[in-house]
Chains A and B, each alone.
Chain A
């Protein structure tokens, strides 16, 4: 890098990152780390095969062999929740990655070029914004059939405007800073300035927005699976588990739906709170 002053508005020197997240933010980060570890090592942690039937012991009460009991076909609930964390977390992750990888270049480019490029991009975002995510996903599923891929692409597109708008607004402010002019005078190309200087300075904000988006996207994707249009049973997935446990609720066995539902709420809470904390941390006072 050069010796130019590269401090953007979004970067602040100071206390450690953990200190500025506050105890609640740190707790959320820990919860997310634990969930991620569980998802990665799921097959090693799960005490039973998540799909092993035991038709003689449906709706078993919690016991040492089945710490959370069993479902209507005698499958171990704990194992299904553990293995279910994989699609439940991987799906939203892919959606957010897709959104970010499309939205960020589009936003920075249109903020950099301004004029007609920016206007066209903004109209495009407005149209996407006007299409509710869940509906877009259902339409995509009507086209390509039920399953995760269609839902992920559709939700990725539907959440693109949220990330793009925040990034564009920040990029518009950032490009007016003196260090960008300095880089231009030194003969750096627009692409170099965007890629090597604007993007790193905007990264904290993008990460914060992506973290919040993860939470919202997870709700949408779980809803699609709940409707029977996303992850297909008998695969263990939290959204699917809420749906397939629903008939048993009226028979007095709400455990499966409740546990899966509570896990979804905890995960979404952790992501949205952490995302808000990250955004607060990167917000310079007085702006």
Chain B
């Protein structure tokens, strides 16, 4: 019962946040200077009748709130309107690109969780040289922007070693995996370093706890102590921060897709901004922000499910 109330609360928060986000995304482009009619007509002077017809077709003549509600209603039905540049349904234009972005983000998330946690554990449990080396590497890793990682990888793995292709997303699962390995690694680098750092400090903190000393005193074998007493507790902060890092990848994909010339949502967003194709900008911005907010909420809810203390106290973060 309490869990149901907890989840309902989080869901209500999610809907509220999504509404605010959609309002920001729609409102921002509504107040943008320069009329969308100029984009459609290419700035040619047209008779007032034609302009009125365009206004009616795209709904430019209605008041803001009416248009917002209409737009939101259409969006909920999967209709993002028409692209001004391509005169095509935005949903159709996005459908062919969403797969690349989703694959890229999922791939990078997997890399972050896998390598971040392994490196962090190694660092905390081995101590000594391994710890120092991992600490130094992660410091540089956190500071490396994805696009810098991208150009370094292209120069090393494409140009020198010829292991991976530098551009394109590939077709079919294996080919795609091969094509997106470098982009996913570039996208995952900073997050992996961050999660490794976090895993290290969370594990170290648990290792120093009294309950661990007690377990040692009782003669519990070390591997069991690590698994049952240290990892289980350390997993709480790792899940939260790791989840937030994964959510951050959604916005980060915009940069990586451009660095590797991938035909995903992010690169299309940048092109559409340059072309002032506002319906497309609105649609992609909304999709990416919504994905970000949804992942955040899931992480938040998971945090509550893993750690019952959060549900009782309402979370004091």
Contacts and interface: CB of A to CB of B under 8 A. Distances in A.
Interface of A: 126-127, 130-135, 138-144, 146, 215, 219, 222-223, 226-229, 242-243, 245-246, 249-250, 252, 254, 257-258, 261-262, 264-265, 268-269, 272-273
Contacts of B146: 223
B251 interface: yes
Nearest to B32: A143
B283 interface: no
Contacts of B12: none
Main secondary structure of the interface of A (DSSP, over half): helix
B25 A130 contact: no
Interface stretch (B48-56, B112-120, B148-156): B148-156
A135 B251 contact: yes
B159 A130 contact: no
Interface stretch (B84-92, B103-111, B271-279): B271-279
Interface in B138-191: 139-140, 142-148, 151-152, 154-155, 158-159, 166, 190
A215 B141 CA distance: 13
B281 A139 contact: yes
Interface in B268-317: 269-270, 273-274, 276, 278, 281, 285, 288-289, 292-293, 296
B143 A268 contact: yes
Contact of B252 (A134, A143, A144, A250): A134
Interface string B6-33: 0000000000010011001100110111
Nearest to B146: A223
Interface stretch (B64-72, B122-130, B231-239, B254-262): B254-262
B281 A261 contact: no
B250 interface: yes
Nearest to A24: B139
A222 B145 contact: yes
Contacts of A219: 143, 145, 190
6 contacts: A130-B292, A134-B252, A135-B254, A242-B151, A246-B259, A249-B159
Given A146-B274, A227-B254, 18 more contacts: A126-B17, A127-B20, A131-B24, A132-B292, A134-B252, A134-B254, A138-B254, A139-B24, A139-B25, A142-B28, A143-B31, A146-B273, A223-B255, A227-B270, A228-B270, A228-B274, A254-B154, A258-B155
B54 to A, nearest CB: 21
A252 B159 contact: yes
A142 B139 contact: no
B143 A227 contact: no
Main secondary structure of the interface of B (DSSP, over half): helix
Contact of B152 (A215, A228, A261): A261
Interface in B218-254: 248, 250-252, 254
B144 A265 contact: yes
Given A135-B289, A142-B278, A264 B145 contact: yes
A25 to B, nearest CB: 13
B154 A249 contact: yes
Nearest to A133: B251
A249 B151 contact: yes
Contacts of B33: 143-144
Contact of B32 (A144, A228, A257, A265): A144
Given A135-B251, A143-B29, A265 B148 contact: yes
Given A226-B259, A228-B270, A132 B17 contact: no
A144 B29 CA distance: 9
A131 to B, nearest CB: 6
Contacts of A134: 251-252, 254-255
